[in-house]
Amino acid sequence: MNAIDYLRISLIDRCNFRCQYCMPEGAALDYLLKSALLQDDELLLLLREVFTPLGFTRFRLTGGEPLLRPNLAELIAHIAALPQTQDISLTTNGFLLAEQAADLYAAGLRRINISLDSLDADTFDSLAGTKGRSRWQQVWNGIQTAYEIGFDPLKLNVVVIPGVNDSELMDLAALSIERAWHVRFIEFMPIGNDDLFSDRGWIPSEDIRQQVRDRWGLDEGFVLGNGPADVFKIPGAKGTLGFISQMSECFCDRCNRMRLSADGWLRPCLLNETGQIDLKTALRQGREPAELRQQVQQLLQLKPEINYKERDAGTTGRYAKTMSQIGG
C-alpha cells in the first residue's frame, strides 16, 4: 500500500483566468465568501496538529489561482518552517508570477508548476478566456523570471485539447530541450466543461509519446515530484516530458495524496467524495485536533478502496465540483 503523505491544498476557488476546460466564461460558479475560506491560522493548525502527526510531509498549494491569495509568501514561509515539511510546491497560471516569484522563493518555495497550454498568443488567450486582454506575454515573463530566480524543478502543464492546441504539442515538447523545463501533457478530463469535452474529446498520452519518438526518439526520464506522471525525455534534453494519463490509465493504486478544498473539506480523491470531512466547520465548532486526527486517520484507512473510476458524481449526476473548487 502507498504511504499517503502528500496533501494538495486549494488556497482559493477564484481565478483571474477562465480556462475553457476548467471554469469557462458564463459558467455559474458560486464563489466562496472570504470568511468561508480556511484561514491561514486554521490551515496552519491543521497542518501542525492533524496532518503532519499522521505522516503528511509534502504539500502542494493550488486553487483556483493561488497567487490571488493574500499574504501567500508569509503562509509559505510558515509551512516551510514546520519541522516535518519535506517538500512544498505550487501550481499557478503564471499571470502574477513575474511580480511574486522572488518573494515566493525567499519564503522557501522551490518547486513550481506553471500552466502553459499554447505558445500562440491567440490560442492561449482563447483557451484562457482572456481574449482582448492578451495574457500570454505576461505568463511567459513569469516563467522566465521563475527560471532565472532558480525554481527547480520548473514544470509546465499543458492540457491537451484536440483541435485547439494539439498541433503545437511538439513545439511545447521542444521547450524541454535547451532548458531544464519539464513539460507535462495532461489528458483532458470531463470535469469543468462537459460540453467542450463532448465536442472535442481527449488525446491519449501514448499518441503524443509516439509523435515524440518519431521526431526525436524518447528515453526514460526522472524528475523530482509527487505526481502520477510517467516521465520520459528527449535524448540529450536538459528537461523532461511528463504524461498525466488519468483518462487512458487508472493510477489509483499509485495514489499518495489527499485534497483539502479552499473551504476546508478533506477529500480522498479528485473525483470521489466518499468519506470527505468538513474540517473547517469542525475547527470552528471547537472540536479538538486529536478528534480530527482520528477522523482523518479513518479516512486514510478507507482511501485504498476509493477509486476514481467508480466516480461519485454527487447529487447532480455530474461532478459536483470543478477543479478550481476542489483544487486541481
Q: Which stretches of the chain bind ligand SAM, using CB under 6 A?
A: 15, 21-22, 62-63, 65, 91-93, 115, 157, 159, 186, 188-189, 191-192, 323-324, 328
Sketch the per residue contact string, 307 through 326, with ligand SF4: x for CB under 6 A, - otherwise: ----------------xx--
* 188 contributes a contact to ligand SF4 by CB under 6 A: no
Which one of residues 23, 61, 146, 229 is an interface residue with ligand SF4 (CB under 6 A)?
23
* 227 contributes a contact to ligand SF4 by CB under 6 A: no
Rounded to an integer, what distance in angstroms lies between the CA atom of residue 274 and that of residue 268?
7
The 8-class DSSP code of residue 224 comes to: -
How many residues contact ligand SF4, by CB under 6 A?
13
* 66 contributes a contact to ligand SF4 by CB under 6 A: no
Choice between 192 and 239, CB closer to ligand SAM: 192
The 8-class DSSP code of residue 272 comes to: B
H helix intervals, 151-204: 169-178, 194-200
Choice between 90 and 292, CB closer to ligand SAM: 90
Rounded to an integer, what distance in angstroms lies between the CA atom of residue 300 and that of residue 255?
12
Phi first, then psi: give them for residue 160, nearest 5 degrees.
Answer: -95, 120
Stretch near ligand SF4 under the rule CB under 6 A, chosen from 57-65, 101-109, 182-190, 209-217: 57-65
CB of 23 to ligand SF4, least distance (A): 5
Stretch near ligand SF4 under the rule CB under 6 A, chosen from 61-69, 194-202, 214-222, 287-295: 61-69
What is 50-101 written as a DSSP string? IIGGGT--EEEEESS-GGGSTTHHHHHHHHHHSTT--EEEEEE-STTHHHHH
Choice between 136 and 232, CB closer to ligand SF4: 136
Choice between 115 and 205, CB closer to ligand SF4: 115
Which one of residues 15, 107, 160, 283 is an interface residue with ligand SF4 (CB under 6 A)?
15
Choice between 118 and 324, CB closer to ligand SAM: 324
CB of 153 to ligand SAM, least distance (A): 15
CB of 197 to ligand SF4, least distance (A): 14
Whether cis (ω within 30° of 0) applies to the bond prior to 153 is yes
Q: Among residue numbers 75 through 114, which ones bind ligand SF4 (CB under 6 A)?
A: 93
CB of 127 to ligand SF4, least distance (A): 9
CB closest to ligand SAM, residue no: 328
Give 5's contacts (C-beta < 8 A, 6+ positions apart).
55, 56, 57, 58, 256
* 22 contributes a contact to ligand SF4 by CB under 6 A: yes
> Would you say the C-alpha torsion 275, 277, 278, 284 has a positive or negative sign?
positive
Q: Which of 170, 141, 147 is nearest to 158 (CA)?
A: 170
Task: Kindly state the cell numbers that stand for 141.
Answer: 515573463
Bridging pattern class, strands 111-115 and 87-92: parallel
What is 139-150 written as a DSSP string? HHHHHHHHHHHT
Output the CA angle 223-229-230, nearest 5 degrees.
Answer: 80
Rounded to an integer, what distance in angstroms lies between the CA atom of residue 255 and that of residue 8?
12
Which stretches of the chain bind ligand SF4, using CB under 6 A?
Answer: 15, 17-19, 22-23, 63-65, 93, 115, 323-324
